[in-house]
């Protein structure tokens, strides 16, 4: 019988139990064996590192893990013991403030009864912190996306208004004074009250202040207080919660929230209802508000620029505007002069509007007759720059060639400085005035908003006067 060769046989220094303990000790996962009472009857080396304790054995797992007096909420070992299924849970340890993932596996006897639970616990704190940071970033991106969408909706509505004046056109002393005032106040956060007649360009002043301020990268939000129904003003300014009223089908942010860190332009502020004036004053003083139907106080950092075409001192005197709100807004007043007080700017404005409006209409203007320019300069322009722009656009449409032509009826709608200071007879002035009114009513004499009503004459009297002056409809 041949001898057995033992030279190539490997000798192991450990028995099977010791080998298994050695393998388990190298894992980066803590392993714990629990009896039905959740008492620790065995643990590997990693468990001792995770939960330092001189004697784990014989203690309840929840005492070891978090020094609790009863099992943890949603304890995976308890669930595994009850239903005999594998359960996985992530939780934040209340003692060391770290995140763990624990897997509980039931161990059953030959009859299928759970006699022990083996728990594997892995420290996932680093991974969890990355996930939390990611989720927070996604949440912030979602909020930012929502805000950008809301601002985009608002900006699209603003674009539809076709802002045609891109700069303050003119070299008159009156305009230069306004520009100086703008340069002084723009770098500050001071409230500004812009006063001036309709059509002088108050919004242009507000935009110039914003564009030259430190808030220029932030939103410039406009509110026309005269255009909002009184029952919707509060919601428009401060927003509303879902269900705040019948039509509030979703949460809506107000103009103050949209303008946060930027500028809010309150145009025609004299038209605000008095109850809203009181709420506006509170926001200006405290820098916070609540949405309609909401209870949460929202803080905002908004620069206010207000504008009005009314004399707010007179409005305060008759009780239509709160004195305290007026004093709060009137920190730095700027008055935009009417066009009739800066007639020297009219030629520049005419050239600007022709260059701006002629290409879309398909016209190319190469000559502006001196007589036409003199007429434009002489007219009082009760509608100011806005009226001038409209006259230029209508005149471009009717100009038959490259020479700019303005129909007389467009600049003689009202008694102008040219008519009053010229040698025109009273009869001629009447003729021109009636013609202008008839043009405005499209030749309609009678009825509501007819020429007779506008001229405060009886229709029969107007017809007689038209016949006498040789005016045809």
Least confident of 171-175, 287-291, 365-369, 464-468: 464-468
Give the predicted TM-score (pTM) of the model. 0.55
- Delimit the domains of the chain by residue range: 20-123, 162-337, 340-469
CATH class (in words) of the domain with range 340-469: mainly alpha
pLDDT at residue 220 tops 60: yes
pLDDT digits (tens, 9 = 90+) for 436-454: 788 777 788 888 778 888 7
Query: Residue written as tokens 């040789």?
Result: 470
Fold assignment, 162-337: Rossmann fold (3.40.50)
pLDDT at residue 434 tops 70: yes
pLDDT digits (tens, 9 = 90+) for 319-354: 999 999 999 999 999 999 999 999 999 999 999 999
Of 145 and 236, more confident: 236
**Is the separation of the CB atoms in 179 and 168 below 8 Å?**
yes
Least confident of 234-238, 300-304, 410-414: 410-414
Model confidence band, residue 13 (pLDDT cutoffs 50, 70, 90): low
Residues 263-281 have a mean pLDDT of 93
**CB contact burial 22-40 (16+ within 10 A = b; e otherwise):** eebeeeebbbbebeeebeb
Mean pLDDT score of the chain: 83
Return the closest-CA partner of residue 117 out of 24, 33, 56.
33
Long-range (24+ apart) CB contacts under 8 A made by 445-450 are 445/473
Percent of the chain clearing pLDDT 90 (strictly above): 32
pLDDT digits (tens, 9 = 90+) for 154-192: 665 554 443 433 468 888 999 999 999 999 999 999 999
pLDDT given for residue 21 in this prediction:
57
DSSP letter string, 221-267:
EEEEGGGS-GGGHHHHHHEE-TTSSTT--S-EE-HHHHTTTSEEEEE
Task: Give me 97's structure tokens.
Answer: 């403030």
pLDDT given for residue 289 in this prediction:
87
pLDDT at residue 412 tops 70: no
Model confidence band, residue 378 (pLDDT cutoffs 50, 70, 90): confident
Domains 20-123 and 340-469 agree in fold: no
Q: Which residues have CB under 8 Å from 365's CB, separation 6+?
A: 354, 358, 396, 399, 402, 403, 404
Q: What is the C-alpha separation between 81 and 39, in angstroms, rounded?
A: 13
- The strand pair at 114-123 and 30-34 is best described as antiparallel
Residues 88-101 have a mean pLDDT of 86
Residues 194-201 have a mean pLDDT of 92
CATH number of 20-123: 3.30.450.20
Least confident of 80-94, 361-375, 459-473: 459-473
Model confidence band, residue 17 (pLDDT cutoffs 50, 70, 90): low
pLDDT given for residue 464 in this prediction:
81
pLDDT given for residue 182 in this prediction:
93
Say whether 41 sits in a helix, a strand or coil.
strand
């Amino acid at each position: 019988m041949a001898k057995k060769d033992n030279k190539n046989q490997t000798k192991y220094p450990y028995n099977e139990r010791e080998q298994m303990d050695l393998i388990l000790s190298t894992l980066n996962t803590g392993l714990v064996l629990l009896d039905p009472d959740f008492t620790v009857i065995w643990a590997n080396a990693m468990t001792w590192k995770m939960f330092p304790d001189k004697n784990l054995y014989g203690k309840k797992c929840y005492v070891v893990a978090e020094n609790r007096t009863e099992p943890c909420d949603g304890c995976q070992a308890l669930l595994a013991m009850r239903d005999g299924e594998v359960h996985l849970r992530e939780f934040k340890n209340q003692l060391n403030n770290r995140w763990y993932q624990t897997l509980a596996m039931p161990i059953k006897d030959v009859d299928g009864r759970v006699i022990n639970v083996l728990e594997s616990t892995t420290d996932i704190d680093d991974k969890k912190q990355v996930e939390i940071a990611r989720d927070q970033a996604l949440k912030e991106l979602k909020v930012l996306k929502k805000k950008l969408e809301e601002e985009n909706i608002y900006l699209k509505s603003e674009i539809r208004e076709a802002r045609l004046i891109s700069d303050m056109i003119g070299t008159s002393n009156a305009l230069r004074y306004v520009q100086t005032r703008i340069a002084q106040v723009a770098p500050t956060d001071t409230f500004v009250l812009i006063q001036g007649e309709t059509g002088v360009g108050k919004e242009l002043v507000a935009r110039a202040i914003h564009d030259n301020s430190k808030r220029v990268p932030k939103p410039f939000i406009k509110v026309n207080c005269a255009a909002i129904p009184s029952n919707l003003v509060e919601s428009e300014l401060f927003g509303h919660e879902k269900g705040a009223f019948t039509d509030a089908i979703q949460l809506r942010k107000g103009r103050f929230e949209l303008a946060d860190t930027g500028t809010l332009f309150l145009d025609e502020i004299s038209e605000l209802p008095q109850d809203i004036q009181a709420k506006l004053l509170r926001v200006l003083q405290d820098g916070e508000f609540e949405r309609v139907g909401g209870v949460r106080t929202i803080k905002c950092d908004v620069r206010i620029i207000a504008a009005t075409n009314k004399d707010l001192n007179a409005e305060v005197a008759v009780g239509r505007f709160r004195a305290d709100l007026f004093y709060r807004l009137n920190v730095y007043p700027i008055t935009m002069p009417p066009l009739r007080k800066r007639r020297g700017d009219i030629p520049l404005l005419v050239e600007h509007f022709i260059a701006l409006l002629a290409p879309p209409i398909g016209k190319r203007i190469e000559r502006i007759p001196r007589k036409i320019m003199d007429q434009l300069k002489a007219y009082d322009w009760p509608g100011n720059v806005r009226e001038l722009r409209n006259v230029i656009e209508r005149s471009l449409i009717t100009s038959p060639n490259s020479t700019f032509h303005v129909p007389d009826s467009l600049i003689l709608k009202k008694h102008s400085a040219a008519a009053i200071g010229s040698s025109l007879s009273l009869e001629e002035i009447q003729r021109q005035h009636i013609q202008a009114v008839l043009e405005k009513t499209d030749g309609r004499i009678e009825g509501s908003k007819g020429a007779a009503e506008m001229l405060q004459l009886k229709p029969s009297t107007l017809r007689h006067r038209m016949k006498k002056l040789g005016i045809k409809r």
